[in-house]
C-alpha cells in the first residue's frame, strides 16, 4: 500500500506513505453548535490559496499582474470525511480547484496527509484538491464569495434522527439560502443518503426553496459526477457492501426570476 520512492521530499512528515486510517479514528458525529477553536478567514479574500494549492500559485508566479486571474475554488465537498470524493474528482477536473470541509480535526488531518502522500507519489497530480477544518454551517460565506462555486456536495450527511436535533441537519431551508448564495446560477447541488427519511427531507427542502430547481434522474444520469456519489466515498462503499438503498437529490441553482416563473 505504501510506496517509498526514495526521493524524500521536504517537510517533517511529507512521505509517500498513505496514512493509516486507524490512527485517525474519530466519532462519526461532531457538534456543529459548539464554538470551535480553528482559525476562520475573515472574508473569502483571506483564504490562503498558497498553502492549499501551492502548485497553482507557483505556476502563475511568473506573471505578477495575474492576481485577478488566479483560479478560485469551484467545487466544495461539505463534510468530506476521509476524502474519497475529492480524490476521485481530482483527475476528472484537473484544472478545477476543489476543497473539502470537515468538522472533525483528526479526520481533517487524515485527509491532509492523504493528499500530501498522493501528490508525492503522483507528481503533478492531486494539486487541485485540499481540505480545511471548519464548520461549514456557520462559516461558508467566509470562504466563498457570491456565486463562486459551480458544484457543492453533501454526501451521506449526518441524519440527526431525533426531532429535536433536526435543526443540526446540514440541509435546511435556512442554510439553503447560504448554499444558493455561494453557488453560481446554473451551479449544481448534489446530495445522497442511505437514510430514506433524510432523503425525503433534503428533497423537500430543496423543492421548497425558490432558488433551486430539480434535475430529474434522466438528466443527471449523464453527469459523470453522479456515478461517483454512491461509490467514491468510504460511506458509500459501506452502504453498497451492506446492500443498502441510496436516495439522490440533485438540484440546479436558478435565478430568482426563473424560479418565480416556474411557480
Partner 1 sequence: MEEKVHTGEINREAEAAPALIAVHPLKRSIALALGYELRVFDFEMDCAVSLTDEAYSPCHSDAIRAICFGANGRLFVSAGDDKLVKIWRTDTWHCIRTVCSDKRVSAVAISHDGLFVTFADKFGVVWIDTLEEDDQGQASVDKKAVPLLGHYCSIITSLKFSPDGKFIATADRDFKIRITIFPKGPLKGAHEIQNFCLGHTEFVSCLTFICPPDCNQSFLLSGSGDATVRLWDHISGHLLDTCDVGKKAGLLDSKEKVEDSPAVTDINALPDGSFVAAAIQGLHGVIILKCDVPARRLFIAKFVFVEESFVPTSLGLSSSAKLLWVVMGASNVSKLGVSKMAQLRVLSDLDKFLSNEHGDYPVILKDKDMPGGEKLLLKFQGSDHDHVTKQDAALAETATAVKVAMQNLLTKKQYSLEKRDFRKRDRNDRKFKKQQF
Please give the residue ranges that form the binding site for partner 1 (CB under 8 A): 27, 32-35, 37, 42-44, 106, 109, 137-139, 141-142, 146, 173-178, 180-181, 209-211, 256
Return the number of the residue (102 or 127) whose C-beta is nearest partner 1: 102
d(CA 85, CA 40): 24
Return the number of the residue (13 or 227) whose C-beta is nearest partner 1: 13
Catalytic status, residue 65: no
Return the number of the residue (85 or 176) whose C-beta is nearest partner 1: 176
- Where residue 126 falls (left for φ over 0; alpha for ψ -120 to 50; beta otherwise) is left
Q: How far is CA 41 from CA 120, 142, 227, in A?
A: 28, 6, 33
SS3 (DSSP) at 21: helix
Return the number of the residue (130 or 135) whose C-beta is nearest partner 1: 135
Quote the least distance from Cβ 203 to partner 1, whole Å. 17
Quote the least distance from Cβ 236 to partner 1, whole Å. 24
Out of 158, 177, 200, 207, the active site residue is: 158
Determine contact, residues 168/131, Cβ cutoff 8 Å: no
Strands in the chain per DSSP E: 73-78, 97-102, 129-133, 149-155, 183-193, 212-214, 247-253
Quote the least distance from Cβ 163 to partner 1, whole Å. 15
Indicate the annotated binding residues.
Answer: 79, 102-103, 135-136, 155, 233-235
- Residue 256 grid coordinates: 430568482
DSSP string for residues in 135-188? -HHHHHHHH--TT-EEEEEEES-----SGGGGGG-S--HHHHHHHHHHEEEEEE
Quote the least distance from Cβ 252 to partner 1, whole Å. 15
Indicate the annotated binding residues for S-adenosyl-L-methionine.
Answer: 79, 102-103, 135-136, 155, 233-235
d(CA 137, CA 170): 7
Which residues does the annotation mark as catalytic? 158
Amino acid at each position: 500500500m505504501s510506496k517509498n520512492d526514495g526521493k524524500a521530499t521536504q517537510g517533517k512528515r511529507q512521505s509517500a506513505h498513505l496514512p493509516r486510517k486507524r490512527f485517525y479514528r474519530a466519532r462519526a458525529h461532531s457538534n456543529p453548535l459548539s464554538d470551535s477553536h480553528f482559525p476562520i478567514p475573515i472574508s473569502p479574500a483571506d483564504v490562503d490559496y498558497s498553502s492549499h494549492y501551492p502548485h497553482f500559485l507557483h505556476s502563475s508566479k511568473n506573471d505578477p499582474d495575474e492576481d485577478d486571474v488566479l483560479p478560485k475554488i469551484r467545487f466544495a465537498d461539505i463534510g468530506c470525511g476521509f476524502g474519497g470524493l475529492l480524490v476521485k474528482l481530482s483527475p476528472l477536473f484537473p484544472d478545477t480547484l476543489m476543497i473539502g470541509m470537515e468538522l472533525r480535526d483528526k479526520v481533517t488531518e487524515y485527509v491532509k496527509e492523504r493528499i500530501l502522500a498522493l501528490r508525492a507519489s503522483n507528481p503533478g497530480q492531486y494539486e487541485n484538491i485540499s481540505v480545511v477544518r471548519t464548520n461549514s454551517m456557520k462559516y461558508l460565506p467566509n470562504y466563498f464569495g457570491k456565486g463562486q462555486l459551480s458544484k457543492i456536495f453533501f454526501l451521506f450527511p449526518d441524519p440527526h434522527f431525533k426531532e429535536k436535533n433536526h435543526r443540526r441537519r446540514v440541509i435546511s431551508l435556512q442554510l439553503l439560502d447560504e448554499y444558493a448564495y455561494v453557488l453560481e446560477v446554473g451551479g449544481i447541488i448534489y446530495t445522497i443518503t442511505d437514510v430514506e427519511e433524510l432523503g425525503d427531507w433534503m428533497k423537500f427542502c430543496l423543492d421548497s426553496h425558490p432558488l433551486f430547481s430539480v434535475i430529474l434522474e434522466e438528466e443527471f444520469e449523464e453527469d459523470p459526477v453522479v456515478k461517483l456519489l454512491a461509490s467514491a466515498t468510504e460511506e458509500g462503499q459501506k452502504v453498497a457492501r451492506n446492500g443498502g438503498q441510496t436516495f439522490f437529490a440533485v438540484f440546479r441553482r436558478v435565478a430568482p426570476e426563473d424560479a418565480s416563473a416556474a411557480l
